[in-house]
Structure 1
């Protein structure tokens, strides 16, 4: 049995004004996700004319590319209404309304599939309902493909970095049984481990390892595998942005150094392109931390944690060694002249 081709994916945020779909280099990616669409209160997709034009432009533009990537649209996102998804997934009638509309939307705008980014189910019951949703969604996809004699749509989901919410008061775990049976793969969001919610100390927000806790990509990916997820269903998230802090003492600038506030950027977030600009403009010192496999820089009282070409390459090697399916980036438009995207694609070695 031949192994499945690797996933080299990236999300394209629809609000990215300076990086249109025509700028996407499809030699570097196998799958591109349009982010985001949301269903209405009846769990259907009402697409305004302006969004319809954007969706058509997105898929039409990418279908002119060589090589031709697969396109999916992502539903939800970090700022979306988790309660809406919970209500939708709670009974078979609302699930069917959502599923039917999602498939119609994919076909209408010539997408190859759909991605659910529900952040996040809040209880064991909601996790169970998510499993039911995936099962019914896959059944509907297979039925639609058989009826229309078209290739079945892809179905993926963006999920927490770990299989369970071990840090939360309400413990719950993703329905691995349903994911294995019904999804093509999951995108594990292996980032945002540290940030503006904790201004007391610096932290590598996408650390591969953490010597002091289980808040790391290594722990998260392995937790999915230990829970029984097929490795061919697991894709590792990589960030094209960093998190910033203001140091309490500019002379104390290691990882976990005391901080007093978020640093530059929107809520302490800078794109990789902005980080390179900051480092150059301020003569920042760049460090590569081998304990966490992360990169950080500092200049004056500002500290920035991120991934660069070196740490990304090491993570790609780790993912291949683990035997998982591939990687994805959040998000297109944040790279610096596609440096990280190019290196990641090159670093993922494909066996002949």
Structure 2
């Protein structure tokens, strides 16, 4: 064990400037779903992401930050209480307009007095409810983009004043930006270069990019019409946005269509959005777990040029993401040296593991694993595929393809914690910190009956005998070297 700490110190120094963020959004309306689709704050795994964002709060008619009318204040207590189980976790509150007909942001940014009212109420609200920061989500500021930038400046100045001379960590300030899609994919409706000088990080919603009356994947890595992750990312980098402040947005939902002809390939005519999922109940919008249910008996395909899959069953067409497309997108964000990933939303992944047969949170868990790999990996991961003769750029895949997990580099990256393979460690124990009685002591955290490892063990190769105390991570991953960070 002792031999691990020297390299670990060096790796942690590297980590301090290169760690990826994994920001996961929680939608408060998911608590109102029925049956197995219902998702509560208590269902959030506090060790899955580096940051979790509560979506959403609103601005009232007095320009003050306030609780969304559908939210129970006890939900905020439970949400920020996740930090009691993982002290490294950061909790943010997202504010956005509740209704398109009520332009709350436009009203608030209109005057300096209105902005200051919002700013001061935000500081008080965040501290009262124990949030670590605020995320702004204004989809299309348009002509008010300059005043939106000024609001961000005012917030940052207030956050700095509030923590100056105290032991309080400054509140985090971030924003999630939506590409404009009415005429062309663009982010001109924000002052992005100025925002990056103010915000701690920016999450870009690189999804829901498809539009029109033909089938198309809504979050392709590349595309011929610029409605793609690559175009959006390059657009931002060309505008001198620091790559390390950009987080690539990952959807945990699919977009589906109802076919109007026998043609099924991308670009096929569609008569409108497909039937709603049984739990999300929105036309043309399916959670990952709803897509997994659809894939049983469907014909699934991989779009070679876009690095994303789609599937067809009867007259229903769906463009979705899986572990392979997530892996390709992570490889891409690495190649562009971005700061990490942001996921919308936790409750749309197969959080219970009941639908996809790949464990809890199969997409986000895979995303986390891909982000934690050695930092030099930039090769795109593709699924196990079977070429279809006569179909260039169009590949048939199994209904639930997955990529190889590869090997984990020996670095301690991203403050990621993993579940201990011995399920008995927390049996009958309350949530909290514990140590195994061995030499040297091994620390772990019990949370909801699971044990989470917080040590840097000796490196084991596959099949090697484990150390006493449970074998720390042996069998948790199938291949590679692993170092778990405190």
Do both proteins adopt the same fold according to a TM-score greater than 0.5, normalized to the shorter chain?
yes
**Superposition deviation, residue 161 in structure 1:** 3.6
Which residue does the alignment assign to 2:298? 284
Q: Deviations over 1:34-86 (max 9, x none)?
A: 000001011102446963222112111x1232364100000016855672201
Gaps of 5+ in 1: none
Are the aligned partners of 2:97 and 2:105 in contact in 1 as well (CA < 8 Å)?
no
Once residues 102 and 201 of structure 2 are traced to their aligned partners in structure 1, the CA distance between those partners, rounded to angstroms, is 21
Deviation >4 Å, runs of 4+? 77-82
Higher helix share: 1
Higher CA-based Rg: 2
1:262 and 2:273 are equivalent in the alignment? yes
Give TM-score scaled by structure 2 length. 0.66
Which residue does the alignment assign to 1:153? 171
Which residue does the alignment assign to 1:141? 159
Please give the residue correspondences for 1:62-211 in structure 2 after superposition, counting only pairs within 5 Å: 62-66=82-86, 68-76=88-96, 79=99, 83-123=103-143, 126-146=144-164, 148-161=166-179, 167=184, 172-194=188-210, 198=212, 200-211=213-224
1:55 alignment partner, one of 70, 76, 83: 76
1:245 and 2:261 are equivalent in the alignment? no
1:214 and 2:226 are equivalent in the alignment? yes
Are the aligned partners of 2:178 and 2:187 in contact in 1 as well (CA < 8 Å)?
no
Q: Deviations over 1:150-202 (max 9, x none)?
A: 1000000010247x98728x99442234322210011100011125xx3x210
May I ask how many residue pairs the two structures share in their alignment? 340
1:43 alignment partner, one of 51, 63, 75: 63
Once residues 194 and 49 of structure 1 are traced to their aligned partners in structure 2, the CA distance between those partners, rounded to angstroms, is 30
Once residues 10 and 325 of structure 1 are traced to their aligned partners in structure 2, the CA distance between those partners, rounded to angstroms, is 14
- By relative contact order (CA 8 Å, sep 6+), the higher-ranking structure is 1
Distance 1:255 1:58, change over 3 A: same
Are the aligned partners of 2:204 and 2:249 in contact in 1 as well (CA < 8 Å)?
yes
Distance 1:80 1:51, change over 3 A: farther
Give TM-score scaled by structure 1 length. 0.90
SS at match of 2:29: coil
Once residues 294 and 216 of structure 1 are traced to their aligned partners in structure 2, the CA distance between those partners, rounded to angstroms, is 11
Gaps of 5+ in 2: 1-13, 32-37, 277-281, 354-360, 376-410, 412-486
Are the aligned partners of 1:37 and 1:75 in contact in 2 as well (CA < 8 Å)?
yes
2:236 alignment partner, one of 209, 214, 224: 224
Distance 1:311 1:320, change over 3 A: same
Which residue does the alignment assign to 2:470? none
